[in-house]
Amino acid sequence: MNKNVNTEFSFTINSVKFNEDYRPSDNTRITTNFANLARGERRKENLRDALSMINNRFNALASWDNLSGDRYSVELEIISVDIDVEGNGNTFPTIEILQTNIIDTETGKRTQGIVGNNFSSYVRDYDFSVRLSNHNRGQSSFSVPNDFGDLHGKLFKYFVNSDAYKAHFSKLPVICLSVSDNKTYRRTENQHPVLGFEYQPNESSLTEQYFKKMGLNVRYFMPPNSAAPFAFYFFGDLLNDYTNLELISTIATMETFQKIYRPEIYNANAQAGLYYKPNLKNSDHSLTRIVYDREERSHLAVEQGKFVEENFLKPYQHKLEQFTASYAR
């Protein structure tokens, strides 16, 4: 804990299994990938098909000593983190992440995979969907506030360094996101057996800068037989701090979500080449059988941003400002 902080926050961590019986809780951001899949008439089929895609992709990547291609299965837990700002038991839902668990059906061994993967945050909704929009309203050119992402980044680092995090998770998180459609990526000669070829963007993105304030570095890799690179955000050493099976659990999980959510990029019929510019209008792609409401997702992000403003940022403004000014880890 940082000695300069005179505001002590505490966290409550809850988990729920992400399986075909999953139903989002009242506190879940319904724009989250897994929550979006778990609604509507086809909710059970959606969930079953998504989990099947994850398992199939995992076994395809973990092909050694796996002749029948069904040795492993992945179990997912949705991790919900609530913050208590004043120490009075009143909490606010802060972030949701995913925990992968790897089941070796041959040995019966169950091992913890990677925590992070998908990343959902109410404060991020506010920053991108409310604050950034308000800041640029009526302006002739786009700009970003100097302190953009400061509170969110420090809250995330505070959580990762908390006793609550260390009691639940043995390794630091890895978050896997899609590439930006306004950047161009160049393939390098660096190739990892699981992560695949590394790519480098032509310039930094706002998302990179935002996650940098969370303490996270980023590298871009395109795993074998993927259609496009992924952005892997991490602390430490991505290639050496995690086992191949841990990395595969993240790839299989997040590639499945991206094939559903961004099929124009991740379910494209042509693979990214030496130079790659993502195109969300690419018509040469395949659709999964899984129903996903993208239009609703964008609309709700604004509503959720306003929700955090009214129920978290304004009520705790003084304490949050004090925390942002004093936390320097």
The boundaries of the domain holding residue 136 are 10-326
Q: Hunting for tokens 């969907």 — which residue is that?
A: 129
| Token pair belonging to 292 | 């996903």
Q: How many domains does the chain have?
A: 1
Query: Residue 15, CB half-sphere, CA atoms under 13 Å: how many?
Result: 17
The rounded distance, in Å, linking the Cα atoms of 176 and 233 is 6
Q: Phi first, then psi: what are they for 270, rounded to 5°? A: -120, 140
pLDDT tens per residue, the chain (329 residues)?
444 445 689 999 999 888 777 766 655 544 455 555 655 666 778 888 889 999 999 999 999 999 999 999 999 999 999 999 998 999 999 999 999 999 999 999 999 999 999 998 989 999 999 999 899 998 889 999 999 999 999 999 999 999 999 999 999 999 999 999 999 999 999 999 999 999 999 999 999 999 999 999 999 999 999 999 999 999 999 999 999 999 999 999 999 999 988 999 999 999 999 999 999 999 999 988 776 665 555 667 788 889 999 999 999 999 999 999 988 77
User: What whole-number distance in Å separates Cα of residue 178 and Cα of residue 227?
Assistant: 12
In this structure, is residue 1 part of a structural domain?
no
pLDDT at 196: 98
Residue 60 placed within a domain: yes
For residue 3, is it within any domain?
no
pLDDT of residue 289: 78
Asked whether residue 124 is assigned to any structural domain, the reply reads yes
CA 131 vs. chain centroid, Å, equals: 21
d(CA 269, CA 260): 14
Residue 173 lies in a domain: yes
Write out 189-248 in H/E/C secondary structure.
EEEECCCEEEEEECCCCHHHHHHHCCCCEEEEEECCCCCCCEEEEECCCCCCCCCHHHHH
CA 283, 285, 290, 292 dihedral sign is negative
CA angle 5, 7, 9 (to 5 degrees): 110
Residue 99: inside a domain: yes
CA atoms lying within 13 Å on the CB side of residue 261: 21
| Alpha-carbon span 250 to 115, nearest angstrom | 9
Q: Is there a domain that residue 304 lies in?
A: yes
What letters, b where the CB count within 10 A reaches 16 and e where it falls short, cover 106-123? eeeeeebbbbbbbbbbbb
Straight-line distance from the first to the last Cα atom of the chain, in angstroms, rounded to the nearest whole number: 8
Q: How far apart are CA 302 and CA 287, in angstroms?
A: 27
CA 278 to the chain's CA centroid: 19
On whether residue 40 sits in a domain, the answer given is: yes
Q: Where do we find the tokens 């790659």?
A: 276
Q: Residue 62 — φ and ψ, nearest 5°?
A: -95, 65
Q: Which residues contact 54 (CB under 8 A, 6 or more apart)?
A: 74, 76, 252, 253, 256
